[in-house]
Amino acid sequence: MLTMVEMNVRIPLDFDREEAEHLKAREKERFRELQRAGKWRHIWRVVGHYANVSIFDVESSTELHDILTGLPLYPFMEMKVTPLCRHPSSLHDDDR
């Protein structure tokens, strides 16, 4: 199940900087684990924002929910989740 997730990160300006850096490092580590596992397929930065657009490949909505709520920066994220399906006019047999 392919899903597009738009993530906007909003860490409060008065949040402890050291803790924020620790959370960002843990987030990067978790992202890499999920990428290696094939769950977090793609990620693009949104220019001018602390935000990204990502493509997840998961078995279920529950799996996606568990992944997203388990992210270290989750408490500071606003997300928009959009399920995807193959477009019949696509020239590609895969999701590249």
Q: Domain ranges in the chain?
A: 2-83
Q: By C-alpha distance, which of 10, 69, 3, 8 is closest to 42?
A: 3
Using DSSP, state whether 37 is helix, strand or coil.
Answer: coil
Q: By C-alpha distance, which of 35, 37, 9, 36 is closest to 23?
A: 9
- How far is it, in rounded angstroms, from Cα 23 to Cα 48? 21
What does the pLDDT read at residue 85?
87
What does the pLDDT read at residue 89?
86
What does the pLDDT read at residue 40?
98
- How far is it, in rounded angstroms, from Cα 22 to Cα 24? 5
What does the pLDDT read at residue 95?
63
What does the pLDDT read at residue 86?
82
pLDDT means per 10 residues, the chain with 96 residues, are 97 97 98 97 96 97 98 98 89 71
pTM of the model: 0.89
CATH entry, 2-83, from 3.30.70.1060, 3.40.50.620, 3.30.360.10, 3.10.450.50: 3.30.70.1060
